[in-house]
Amino acid sequence: MRHRLTKRACDECISRKVKCSGAWPCDTCQSAPKQVNCTYLKPARRRGPKVRRYTGEQGEERLTTGPLIPPHVDPRDEEISRVEAERPASNIIPTEELVSVVRSYQQASYSVWPVVDAEVLLEKLEHGTPNVGTLCLTMALCAATMAQLQLAPTSIDSTMMAAECMRMREAHLDLRSVLVSFFLHVYHAKINKRDSAMLFIREAVYGARLLKLDEGVGRHDTELDADVVANKEIVFLLLWVSERGYSLHLGLQPSYTTPIHLPDEVDVGNNVDVKGLLELGRLFATFDEFSSRRSSNARDKPAMTADSLAETETVLSMLSFGRGDRPSTRIADYCITKEWMRTIIWQEALSRHLLSSKSGARLMTFRFPAVVSRDLLMSLQSFTESDLLPLGRDQLLKCFEIANSLADTVLLTPCVPTCSDFQMRPHDFLHALYQKLLPFLEQDFMLKSILHSKTAEALVKAPARILRMDYNPWSFDHDGEYAHSTGKHVDSPEEDADSHWNFYG
């Protein structure tokens, strides 16, 4: 796929004074002997002969008015009109609208992004005059929340929130500006603007590293309006997990390759939201070793074998969410992510031609997607639509990848006879997954179309069970006489599926 061209050279090429291709990442940075970050963070400078230079306070003031991301992100991609960008904030977004969305974040999305203190922010909005940085963070948070929760717009929508946020962004780097980049990533990922979403999450990680958030956050407590940022010790962990997950979806390498230092659970106390994110971070850290070896650039890493893949999958499958009270949304996030990681490992084994129907390792067989789908359905059976909605498109893509892998194996492998007509089969899991995902697929026509067609084809090709059952067709004419003879009593399909799990491993 051709990279979108920018309108100027990247920061690295400017500092080295070499020719830049204008792509992202550019050819020069990609071909560098050492890995470098290809960024466009420095404000574009005026071309041609240099004229009067501003000095003193006036010059410093002008240097802090440019956005963190210059206009190489096409405003048309973000559906931002020039007219909207020139209006004052107070004329576009009333405070009452911001307060309403922040309360929705507090109720539904805080457990997913526990990094903004909603109470402090509401206090500033309702009884004070928040400064530009706090107001910008509020609008980025509201844009992400409205898009993620699919909130019906009243006088404004998430696009207008994002537009106003980008208009007001400043070049000043602090905790709030890092979170602004993160929430803009969430917004653009939700509306499937992949380039912009990837750019914003990498900008957030880069800014966090400049602030040394990966090493500690003690010195940031005295920053102006830093009280609106909650749980500062996990801000970088949230960015790290988000970038890794999104990079895997796009088949890209994350910008931060150093092993992460996870906070000690003792230090986070009894904060269930922080503990939930910490356990998700452990899951990604476990998967990270496999992910780094999977990279084509990791030449010094040992080659992946069937045994190493099976060992990684076994470690992942044995991980479980910690005990104690945890938000249901975070538990669902953890379960979906774990099964998605197991699917990626199976796909890697498939791409390396390691699968065999005679393999003794469950991972190395074509029935493994059915095992993962069963485990996912068992994990999600107690969660409602409101529990899953705050997770957004990222988790929908993970579930889609699990279901799509199962659909492909069902369609491309022959159906193996089972020992009972009540036993759950792969196409049953596929059908159940499709029904579970259907409310969220309504907002994504492409994913819905793909999964719907494959599920329908799988169900049509599946053997009809009723033709193999011993029954009297005339018993329908007599009430109370309809009965099946299956040779054994089965209380429920689920019980029989567990007792006859020979097909799935």
Do the domain assignments include residue 162? yes
Within this chain, do residues 88 and 228 fall inside the same structural domain, yes or no?
yes
Within this chain, do residues 27 and 176 fall inside the same structural domain, yes or no?
no
Which of 250, 271, 300 terminates a domain? The answer is: 250
Per-residue pLDDT tens digits of the chain, which is 505 residues long: 444 445 578 888 888 888 888 787 788 888 887 777 788 777 666 655 554 444 444 443 433 333 344 333 444 344 444 434 444 444 568 889 999 999 999 999 999 999 999 999 999 998 877 888 899 999 999 999 999 998 887 778 888 889 888 888 877 888 999 999 999 999 999 998 999 999 999 999 999 999 989 887 655 555 666 789 999 989 999 999 999 999 998 888 899 888 888 877 656 667 888 888 999 999 999 898 887 777 654 455 557 788 889 988 998 888 887 766 778 899 999 999 999 999 999 999 999 899 888 888 889 999 999 999 999 999 988 888 888 999 988 899 999 999 999 999 999 887 655 555 557 888 999 999 999 999 888 878 889 999 999 999 999 988 776 655 555 544 444 444 444 444 444 333 333 334 333 344 3
Do the domain assignments include residue 116? yes
- Looking at residue 470, its pLDDT comes to 56
Within this chain, do residues 33 and 173 fall inside the same structural domain, yes or no?
no
- Looking at residue 57, its pLDDT comes to 43
Residue 294's nearest CA partner among 334, 346, 329 is 346
Do the domain assignments include residue 41? yes
Q: What is the CATH number of the domain that holds 12?
A: 4.10.240
Which of 222, 250, 278 terminates a domain? The answer is: 250
Within this chain, do residues 114 and 242 fall inside the same structural domain, yes or no?
yes
- Looking at residue 300, its pLDDT comes to 54
Do 372 and 345 touch, CB atoms closer than 8 A?
A: no
Within this chain, do residues 31 and 113 fall inside the same structural domain, yes or no?
no
- Looking at residue 1, its pLDDT comes to 43
- Looking at residue 486, its pLDDT comes to 40
Do the domain assignments include residue 61? no
Do the domain assignments include residue 112? yes
**Whole-angstrom distance, CA of residue 167 vs CA of residue 87:** 9
Within this chain, do residues 108 and 182 fall inside the same structural domain, yes or no?
yes
Angle at 283 between CA 352 and CA 261, to 5 degrees: 115
Within this chain, do residues 147 and 245 fall inside the same structural domain, yes or no?
yes
Domain boundaries, position 91: 73-250
Do the domain assignments include residue 221? yes
User: Collapsing DSSP states into helix, strand and coil, what is residue 485?
Assistant: strand
Residue 20 CA to chain centroid, in angstroms? 31
Within this chain, do residues 41 and 156 fall inside the same structural domain, yes or no?
no
User: Collapsing DSSP states into helix, strand and coil, what is residue 127?
Assistant: helix
Do the domain assignments include residue 342? no
Within this chain, do residues 8 and 121 fall inside the same structural domain, yes or no?
no
* 88-137 per-position pLDDT tens digit: 444 568 889 999 999 999 999 999 999 999 999 999 998 877 888 899 99
Do 34 and 252 touch, CB atoms closer than 8 A?
A: no
Do the domain assignments include residue 217? yes
**Whole-angstrom distance, CA of residue 487 vs CA of residue 158:** 59
Count of C-beta atoms within a 10 Å radius of residue 51: 6
Residue 201's nearest CA partner among 217, 178, 174 is 178
**Whole-angstrom distance, CA of residue 6 vs CA of residue 70:** 10
For residue 96 the two structure tokens come to: 């009452």
Count up the domains in the chain and report the number.
2
The stretches of 365-425 forming alpha helices (DSSP H) are 368-380, 385-388, 392-412
Within this chain, do residues 145 and 12 fall inside the same structural domain, yes or no?
no
- Looking at residue 84, its pLDDT comes to 41
Half-sphere exposure of 427 (CA within 13 A, CB side): 21
Within this chain, do residues 77 and 44 fall inside the same structural domain, yes or no?
no
Do 262 and 282 touch, CB atoms closer than 8 A?
A: yes
Do 143 and 102 touch, CB atoms closer than 8 A?
A: no
Within this chain, do residues 112 and 164 fall inside the same structural domain, yes or no?
yes
Which of 225, 250, 275 terminates a domain? The answer is: 250
- Preceding peptide of 67 cis, ω within 30°: no
**Whole-angstrom distance, CA of residue 355 vs CA of residue 376:** 22
- Looking at residue 214, its pLDDT comes to 87
